[in-house]
């Protein structure tokens, strides 16, 4: 199934159109101006953790090239930019002194983009936790909730009125499960019990931070960003159907039920048995603060199987360089389901994009597959809105090719190509399409 080509006119005038990045993936300057080490700096130093042996020391050098990048963002014609703050850049050890030089960097960036009419959507935690906090257990230690709340409050106090939204955490599932259970992301721990405790503390710190930031009297919309996708059983067997339900519980319901119903789903807690998190009285009510928006990061759908590993090729659909199936309908389906089951006030597609191998030919990067991916997912977002789902924005991941975590620099998600030797930025055809789409007024002419 393909969707009709979208046009900007089909969306409300105040629809948020953006591009997204995160601090560790683009900033570089890992020791500049008093920045402390993050868990990703430490993780990259461990042999074999990053596919190409790379690290975030330079990344896209955004810390030094931010002015050029501001021009790039504004030049795309987007009205919004989603970015994250590096906690160890502004508070090197996560619990002590503030680093004014770090804050000054974000202040310059925020002011420059606001001056260009680009609204800023800030994420407080896009994974680069101060290493000093990891040394005392990181997200698995309940004490971190207080540290995170203090950091969030300070950032909101300084910048809140200049931000279009504040998101506490990016993808708590990824932090907890890939970081503490599978150990393939920082901090590289392999313990399901710690992972579930980390999950609980991420959600608890989110609720505590929201309460504290709101107590400042700010009207800035506040929320959280989850990585979500529809999950299907790989076959009609009762085992696969049960597995799909459980996986949906572990990935979606655990987070959504906590945030919107102040409870963890009983089937999942039962399944986790002794690995279920320790929950104190009052925690669930703290977690379930009312959210001004729910951010959804969507890349693909998933299949659950009890037997042989499920093979993505069996779908017959195109597969990205990450090995992820291209399935735009999954986004429509997901948005409709979230609306139906949980009624978030508004939803925002906070990340969506694709890694493909790019060919740079005489200054042109004809990334047809990425272009089609973005176009189809914008259309899929439109289809959800038509079905009555309150979606207020779409952010393409990502502005730039960047450090793709454990995959290093080999996987390119950027609408803008980065030559990591020279740091030259070049708009790919997908960026040019997005620019054109955003400037287009007449229906159907994209």
Q: How far apart are CA 366 and CA 361, in angstroms?
A: 8
* Known catalytic residue at 351: yes
Q: Is the peptide bond before 187 cis (omega within 30 degrees of 0)?
A: yes
Tokens of 200: 């609980």
Decide: is 397 part of the binding site for ligand FCB (CB under 6 A): yes
Task: Tell me whether residue 13 is exposed, middle or buried, using C-beta atoms within 10 angstroms of its C-beta: 0 to 12, 13 to 18, 19 or more.
Answer: exposed
Q: 338 vs 385, which CB is nearer to ligand FCB?
A: 338
Q: 29 vs 226, which CB is nearer to ligand FCB?
A: 226
The length of the chain is 446
Cβ of residue 443: shortest distance to ligand FCB, in angstroms?
A: 32
Cβ of residue 225: shortest distance to ligand FCB, in angstroms?
A: 8
Of 167, 171, 181, the C-alpha closest to 393 is: 167
Q: 27 vs 404, which CB is nearer to ligand FCB?
A: 404
Site string for ligand FCB, 282-301 (x = CB under 6 A): ---------------x----
Q: How far apart are CA 84 and CA 427, in angstroms?
A: 22
Q: How far apart are CA 365 and CA 362, in angstroms?
A: 8
Q: Please, which residues have CB within 8 angstroms of residue 71's CB and are 6 or more apart in sequence?
A: none
Among 325, 333, 351, 376, which one carries the catalytic annotation? 351
Question: Which residues sit opposite 416 in a β-bridge?
Answer: 400, 427
Q: 269 vs 372, which CB is nearer to ligand FCB?
A: 372
Cβ of residue 226: shortest distance to ligand FCB, in angstroms?
A: 10
Q: Which of 55, 125, 134, 227 binds ligand FCB (CB under 6 A)?
A: 227
Scanning residues 46 to 105, which ones bind ligand FCB (CB under 6 A)? none
Scanning residues 146 to 185, which ones bind ligand FCB (CB under 6 A)? 170-171, 174
Cβ of residue 405: shortest distance to ligand FCB, in angstroms?
A: 6
Decide: is 255 part of the binding site for ligand FCB (CB under 6 A): no
Q: 181 vs 351, which CB is nearer to ligand FCB?
A: 351
Q: Which of 87, 173, 395, 405 binds ligand FCB (CB under 6 A)?
A: 405
Decide: is 406 part of the binding site for ligand FCB (CB under 6 A): no
Q: Sign of torsion, CA 352 387 339 208?
A: positive
Among 171, 325, 376, 404, which one carries the catalytic annotation? 171
* Known catalytic residue at 171: yes
Q: 63 vs 413, which CB is nearer to ligand FCB?
A: 413
Question: Which residues sit opposite 84 in a β-bridge?
Answer: 123
Scanning residues 312 to 351, which ones bind ligand FCB (CB under 6 A)? 351
Residues binding ligand FCB (CB under 6 A): 22, 25, 170-171, 174, 227, 297, 351, 397, 404-405, 413
Give the residue numbers marked as catalytic.
171, 351
């Amino acid at each position: 199934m393909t969707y009709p080509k979208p046009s900007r006119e089909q969306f409300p005038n105040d629809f948020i159109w953006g591009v997204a990045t995160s601090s560790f993936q683009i900033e570089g300057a890992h020791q500049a101006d008093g920045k402390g080490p993050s868990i990703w700096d430490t993780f990259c130093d461990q042999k074999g953790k990053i596919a190409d042996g790379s690290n975030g020391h330079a990344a896209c050098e955004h810390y030094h090239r931010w002015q050029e990048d501001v021009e790039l963002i504004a030049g795309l014609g987007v009205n919004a930019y989603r970015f994250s703050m590096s906690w160890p850049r502004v508070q090197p050890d996560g619990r002590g002194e503030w680093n004014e030089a770090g804050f000054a960097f974000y202040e310059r960036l925020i002011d420059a983009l606001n001056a260009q009419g680009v609204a800023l959507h800030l994420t407080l935690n896009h994974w680069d936790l101060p290493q000093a906090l990891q040394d005392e257990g990181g997200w698995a230690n309940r004490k971190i909730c207080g540290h995170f709340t203090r950091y969030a409050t300070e950032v909101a106090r300084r910048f809140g009125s200049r931000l279009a939204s504040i998101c506490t955490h990016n993808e708590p599932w990824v932090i907890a499960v890939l970081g503490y259970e599978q150990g393939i992301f920082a901090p590289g721990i392999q313990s399901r019990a710690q992972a579930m405790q980390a999950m609980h503390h991420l959600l608890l710190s989110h609720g505590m931070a929201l309460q504290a930031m709101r107590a400042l009297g700010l009207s800035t919309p506040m929320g959280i960003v989850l990585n979500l996708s529809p999950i299907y059983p790989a076959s009609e067997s009762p085992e696969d159907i049960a597995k799909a339900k459980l996986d949906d519980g572990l990935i979606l319901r655990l987070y959504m039920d906590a945030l919107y119903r102040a409870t963890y789903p009983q089937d999942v807690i039962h399944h986790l048995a002794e690995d279920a998190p320790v929950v104190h009285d009052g925690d669930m009510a703290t977690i379930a603060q009312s959210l001004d928006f729910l951010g959804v990061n969507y890349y693909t759908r998933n299949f659950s199987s009890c037997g042989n590993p499920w093979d993505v090729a069996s779908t017959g659909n195109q597969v990205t360089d990450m090995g992820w199936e291209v399935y735009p309908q999954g986004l429509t389906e997901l948005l409709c389901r979230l609306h139906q089951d949980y009624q978030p006030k508004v939803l925002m597609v906070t990340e969506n994009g694709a890694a493909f191998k790019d060919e740079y030919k005489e200054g042109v990067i004809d990334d047809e597959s990425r272009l089609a991916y973005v176009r189809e997912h914008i259309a899929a977002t439109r289809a959800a809105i038509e079905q009555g789902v309150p979606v207020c924005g779409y952010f393409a991941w990502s502005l730039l090719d960047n450090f793709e975590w454990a995959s290093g620099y080999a996987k390119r998600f950027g609408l803008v190509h980065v030559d990591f030797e020279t740091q030259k930025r070049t708009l790919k055809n997908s960026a040019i399409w997005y620019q054109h789409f955003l400037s287009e007024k007449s229906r159907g002419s994209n």
